[in-house]
Structure 1
């Protein structure tokens, strides 16, 4: 009897999500695909694994038994891969890495150069994923690791099967059009929220929720006029005088023309993280890639802050750019 990993992961997600729709969202599938995975698993095992209970689904006795073993099977597979890598005594193999826009442009190139110089046997294939889906991509097994963002004001969901490894923290500043720098006394989120049009992602995103929460905590509500997700586009709009937008050192590497970074008096942060399967942490190749990404994140963010500090008054950021 063969039990495909993708079907076992679907069953495990159903035990957590309790609905086909929620499981599909977490795994990045359609509800129909989730139903197909479960139906295929039931045909293979010859047992009913889930049953409807109103809008939710419940595992049958057979489903609960298989779910316990599914977690062990998937964990054992990951541990076997890690053990084989260690037994070879070499750091090598192929890894699938999920990246989002800023990470692909700023963090990935220096990290892969560093990895290739130190561990040429490790081959990394990257694919762009929605930054809010980094955790789900690893959980679903579509990538081995994924770069993501975690916000204290809107934290990612946690699950024992996936760990978040922090690469660095960044403090937010505010990107404003050159020539419109607020007075120091007005550099609070509540004052900035009331005085400017904002360019932000949708409220349902982790990023959009985090910034709105920070403003509300200070007693203000950002007046979002332009709802934009792409960072480079947002900063271009700021440079054109269409509003203000949050800014970190890594973001500044994408665009700095026509904007000034205004430090905030309150601390608003985000963490650049890597989502990785808990069992995969023992793979030497995974450890090597995480180390390269961490070094790249620290180096690139530091360069962004230094570069910003060197360009005050020239359309770049002030020395307090909030790069962390």
Structure 2
């Protein structure tokens, strides 16, 4: 019989690619992860990992096993969710992850509603980059999270997660003058930290009109971004939630580009009473913003 805990480690290795990253995410030591995966190979009776120096890659058999692991883990989550529906009162911990502007505009009113309607529920909020949310959901450090994609930065579906649409936003060009995007090819730019979705979106949106932006400043807080634009330090792309309040000297020019936010949770947990309550509260807060 294959051990579900070892299968979970193999699933995480498929996503995170290194044993060290799996160990860090799941609070193991690297040697413990290696030992568990070696034991899983013995249970499976076929090679699962190809080792080259310190690097490991999954064999075709391992990738097939990961697909089964996704289904097995989702069924276990669904069983736990159905058990939770038999309880008379909604209690326990609900861990929600969201990006900064959503914490302020959407999550805060949703938390008020959840606290009022379900006083026995312990709410825990983590502010994080949406790109890291899927990994946190898989690692079970979050139960519900807000994830994003931009027109120029599509996100591959994660087989471990279910998602549903929550919000679509306009992307604005923030500058001191109202000009089209292509007119700013020679200007300095302000963008998010490299490897974030916002940074990638800025680069690709500019490349789509024929130039690569010369990024002078990096800032992840859109209030800071707008302050830098107002100070004449460059231009930037800012989504709708991050554009308010806007300094009076900054002009916001709407672009055709959109940012889409989705609710995400582990497969099988969608009907867990706590997750269902969070989904309802976040949808209602988004509609009322």
Q: Shorter-normalised TM-score: what interval?
A: 0.7 to 0.9
Q: For residue 167 of structure 1, what is the aligned residue in structure 2?
A: 166
Matched, 1:219 2:215: no
Matched, 1:275 2:264: yes
TM-score, structure 2 as length reference: 0.82
**Which secondary structure state, in structure 2, belongs to the residue aligned with residue 274 of structure 1?**
strand
Aligned to 2:21, which of 16, 19, 24?
24
Q: CA deviation at 1:269?
A: 0.7
Say if 1:10 and 1:38, in contact at 8 Å, map to a contact too: no
CA distance in 2, matches of 1:141, 1:8: 15
Matched, 1:37 2:29: no
Aligned to 1:52, which of 46, 50, 53?
50
Residues 263-301 of structure 1, C-alpha deviation per residue, up to 9 Å, x if partnerless?
23x40110122221121112132122112112223333x
Further displaced range: 82-91 or 162-171: 82-91
Q: For residue 149 of structure 1, what is the aligned residue in structure 2?
A: 148
**Which secondary structure state, in structure 2, belongs to the residue aligned with residue 88 of structure 1?**
coil
CA separation of 1:273/1:80 partners in 2, compared to 1, >3 Å: closer, same or farther?
A: same
Q: For residue 291 of structure 1, what is the aligned residue in structure 2?
A: 280
CA distance in 2, matches of 1:124, 1:95: 5
Gaps of 5+ in 1: 301-324
Q: For residue 237 of structure 1, what is the aligned residue in structure 2?
A: 228
Q: For residue 181 of structure 1, what is the aligned residue in structure 2?
A: 177
TM-score, structure 1 as length reference: 0.74
**Which secondary structure state, in structure 2, belongs to the residue aligned with residue 279 of structure 1?**
coil
RMSD: 3.3
Say if 2:106 and 2:286, in contact at 8 Å, map to a contact too: yes
CA distance in 2, matches of 1:262, 1:44: 55
CA distance in 2, matches of 1:2, 1:86: 29
Q: For residue 85 of structure 2, what is the aligned residue in structure 1?
A: 86
Q: CA deviation at 1:108?
A: 1.8
**Which secondary structure state, in structure 2, belongs to the residue aligned with residue 288 of structure 1?**
helix
CA distance in 2, matches of 1:60, 1:213: 34
Say if 2:96 and 2:142, in contact at 8 Å, map to a contact too: yes
Say if 2:92 and 2:121, in contact at 8 Å, map to a contact too: yes
Q: How does 1:193-212 map to 2 (within 5 A)?
A: 193-212=184-203
Aligned length: 285
Gaps of 5+ in 2: none
Q: For residue 125 of structure 1, what is the aligned residue in structure 2?
A: 124
Say if 2:193 and 2:199, in contact at 8 Å, map to a contact too: yes
Residues 164-216 of structure 1, C-alpha deviation per residue, up to 9 Å, x if partnerless?
3221100111222xxx322xxx3x2212x325321002453222112221222
Q: CA deviation at 1:133?
A: 0.4
Q: CA deviation at 1:134?
A: 0.9
Say if 1:155 and 1:206, in contact at 8 Å, map to a contact too: no
Residues 143-165 of structure 1, C-alpha deviation per residue, up to 9 Å, x if partnerless?
11112221121022312211232
CA distance in 1, matches of 2:37, 2:64: 13
CA distance in 2, matches of 1:38, 1:294: 42
Residues 76-100 of structure 1, C-alpha deviation per residue, up to 9 Å, x if partnerless?
3311221012223655442111223
CA distance in 2, matches of 1:271, 1:287: 21
